[in-house]
Amino acid sequence: MESAALIGLILFLISEILPFTPWKGNGIVQQLLATARQLFPHQSHTNQ
């Protein structure tokens, strides 16, 4: 698997799990995750 695709998949999984963690209200974590997801998009987010 290509490394960029793997990073995109990991970021996708983290974004799906994040609302169930204590960090869900942390704006810094959410902003970093949103920026990283723009840099490494996962196929499920580009098809919408």
What pLDDT digit, counting tens, does each position of 24-36 carry?
677 777 788 788 8
- Average pLDDT over every residue of 41-48: 58
Name the least confident of 21-25, 32-36, 43-47. 43-47
% of the chain beyond a pLDDT of 90:
0
> At residue 16, does pLDDT exceed 80?
yes
Contact 38, 11 (CB under 8 A): no
- pLDDT grade for 1, boundaries at 50, 70 and 90: low
Residues contacting 43, CB < 8 A, separation 6+:
8
Q: Tell me the pTM.
A: 0.52
Residue-wise burial string across 2-17, b where 16 or more C-beta atoms lie within 10 A, e elsewhere: eeeeeebeebbeebee
